[in-house]
Chain A
Amino acid sequence: MGANLDFMRKFDYMKRALKVYMEKPELAALVLLVGLIILFQYLSDGVFLNANNLRGILGILPEIGLMVIGVTILMIAGEFDLSVGSVFALMPMTMAVLMADGTPFFFAFVAGMAFALLIGFVNGYLTVKFAIPSFITTLGMLFIARSLTIVISGGFPPLLPNDLPNWLFTVFVGPGHLFRMSFIWFVLIGVAASLMMSRTNFGNWIKATGGFLPAADAMGIPTARVKIAAFMLCSVLAGFAGMLQVLRLGSPLPSIGEGWELQAVAAAVIGGTALNGGVGAVIGGVIGAILIRVIDNGLVLSQVDSNWFKFAIGFLTIFAVVANSWLRKRAKSMKVET
């Protein structure tokens, strides 16, 4: 009898743990990621996980990854940013133009970041002040920022100077020179963003603002400022990511980041971020970003026609959302005491 009761208690405990995990929105993405890595490893005859290929994946990952971190946080706050792909190009182009005029790297960097912050502020201010959907404001900004990039480049991307601090951003480091410095930036910023969301009161405000705006307002949270801050963070991360790519490529192309705004939204959604705010985690977005890089790379290695890439992203986006809502429904129907 006692043993039976003990068993029941254990069972109850396991059930509760299972329920908690099933409610984690990033779970579906994580399972998918592991599955795909195994699949690609098999299809590519073991090439997928070798050092050379990992070096390739981890070299590009921070660029989309940093953008996704910002987009995820902004989506949790209940807003969208479609202009990140353009800011991704505009920020490094601003730097390149300034450096071509003789400005030192550091000041060009500060100016570029300030410009990205300003764009984020404008996005947020217009959205909040005039109560328009951020879909519209940032769609407009997508065109504006892209146009500015091309205009200030004068049609020809300026040459980058030779004395760039590549040691800080792009050189290979780590065991077996497996990743670039940009990866360290990505990890540091990812951890900081994740801690901000889970541990700080500001993270609490972001979740409340996106989760149920009337309640956040009623509890005295400065929701307008919270949203504007999230827009600025999103923009500045996209700009920083763009600079990383330009330093890696060695040339400020005005077309970089095109279409990435939608990939970033897809990554956030695959990682379990809710489109209408309140739900999501930075780690989910990061997993989504890794998934996208893994698919891009894995398809090539598996010698699948690379035009299937967008198909795969589209399929995964829908699949992840369906899987998540199914998991959540299952978890909800699991009876554990509240």
Chain B
Amino acid sequence: MIAPIISIRNMHKWYSGVHALRGVSLDINPNEALGLIGDNGAGKSTLINILSGAQTADEGEIEIDGALVNIRNPRDAMDLGIETIYQYNSMVPTMSIARNMFIGREPLKVSLFGIGIMDQQKMRDDSVKAIADVNLHLRSPDALVGELSGGQRQGVAIARAMHFRSRLMILDEPTNHLSVKETAKVIGFVQSLKNQNVTSIFISHNMHHVFECCDRVVAMARGKIVLDKRIEDTSIEEVHEVL
């Protein structure tokens, strides 16, 4: 029995009368690629937002490596090694790749009270390296993110998450709005995470994508987990049925 990297215990969330999460508990094991599936409003986004610090739970606990943690904002989550890649991109299109890689975590040459002069050479060099590490080919770290294709952007987002040595990578519908070819590439990224000691949660509407790259599938409906099985123990049909 392996100890889970993250445990969620009895999590509840209300939105002015709507009970969005009804006591969700979930263990995520190290190096696991977990596929999270559910219809709109099933509660999966809420669960993910709580893990990534975008929202806070009304009730419930999160443990990382067995220790109770308090995630109040995105910064807390990132400091705990939880990186999130969002559907609508966590990139600023009007800024360069190098600047995007380090938003909020810029390496500083000198600083006073957290404000200081950025080490731009290091930002460029590290970006080039991080991007090469995920097998993405981009000419210049100075190119604007707005000029990249959707798939390239997700690639840069994944490179960023890898660079900051994330332990848990949350990919929130990363293949939406992507072409077939680019989707295949993102799926490839997710598959390669396991070899790099990264645990991942992959959220998708597309059952085939989940079955292609995940070890385990968790389905949510009406704020609860309704199915939690290893991929080899279930089928697309069975998951469809419980939804």
Contacts and interface: CB of A to CB of B under 8 A. Distances in A.
Interface stretch (A87-95, A142-150, A171-179, A207-215): A207-215
Interface stretch (B2-10, B89-97, B205-213, B226-234): B89-97
A220 B53 CA distance: 9
Nearest to A195: B117
A218 B53 CA distance: 8
Contact of A215 (B90, B116, B139, B147): B90
Interface in B71-121: 73-75, 78, 84, 86, 88-95, 99, 102-106, 108, 111, 114-118, 120
Contact of A212 (B91, B102, B104, B114): B91
Contacts of B184: none
B74 A220 contact: yes
Interface stretch (A104-112, A116-124, A198-206): A198-206
Contacts of A218: 52, 54, 74, 84, 86, 90
A204 B94 contact: no
Nearest to B77: A220
Q: Which interface residue of A202, A215, A218 has the most chain B CB atoms within 10 A?
A: A218
A202 B120 CA distance: 14
A201 B108 contact: yes
A221 B103 contact: yes
A76 to B, nearest CB: 9
Given A201-B106, A208-B103, A221-B103, A215 B118 contact: no
A199 B74 contact: no
Contacts of A205: 103-104
A215 B114 CA distance: 20
A112 to B, nearest CB: 25
A207 to B, nearest CB: 6
A199 B118 contact: yes
Given A204-B118, A218-B86, A212 B143 contact: no
A117 to B, nearest CB: 17
A204 B120 CA distance: 11
Given A200-B116, A205-B104, A338-B147, A219 B74 contact: yes
Contacts of A202: 115
B91 A215 contact: yes
Interface in A184-205: 199-202, 204-205
A278 to B, nearest CB: 4
A332 interface: yes
B118 A201 contact: yes
A214 B86 CA distance: 10
A106 B187 CA distance: 64
A278 B94 contact: yes
Contacts of B111: 201
A212 B92 contact: yes
Contacts of B104: 205, 208, 216, 219-221
A199 B111 CA distance: 12
A199 B115 CA distance: 11
A338 B104 CA distance: 25
Contacts of A216: 92, 103-104
Given A332-B147, A338-B143, A220 B78 contact: yes
B99 A338 contact: no
B69 interface: no
Contacts of B115: 200-202
Interface string A293-304: 000000000000
Contacts of B74: 217-220
A98 B185 CA distance: 67
A203 to B, nearest CB: 8
Most chain A CB within 10 A, of B54, B95, B120, is at: B95
B118 A211 contact: no
B95 A207 contact: yes
A267 interface: no
A258 to B, nearest CB: 33
B109 to A, nearest CB: 9
A163 interface: no
A216 B103 CA distance: 7
B117 A208 contact: no
Contacts of B88: 214
A68 interface: no
B138 interface: yes
Contacts of B143: 338
A337 interface: yes
Nearest to A229: B115
28 contacts: A200-B116, A200-B118, A201-B115, A204-B99, A204-B106, A204-B118, A205-B103, A207-B95, A207-B99, A208-B95, A208-B99, A208-B103, A211-B94, A212-B92, A212-B94, A214-B86, A215-B89, A215-B90, A216-B103, A216-B104, A217-B74, A219-B74, A219-B78, A219-B104, A220-B53, A278-B94, A279-B94, A338-B143
Interface of A: 23, 199-202, 204-205, 207-208, 211-212, 214-221, 274, 278-279, 332, 337-338
Given A204-B95, A219-B105, A338-B140, 7 more contacts: A199-B118, A201-B106, A201-B108, A208-B92, A214-B86, A218-B86, A278-B94
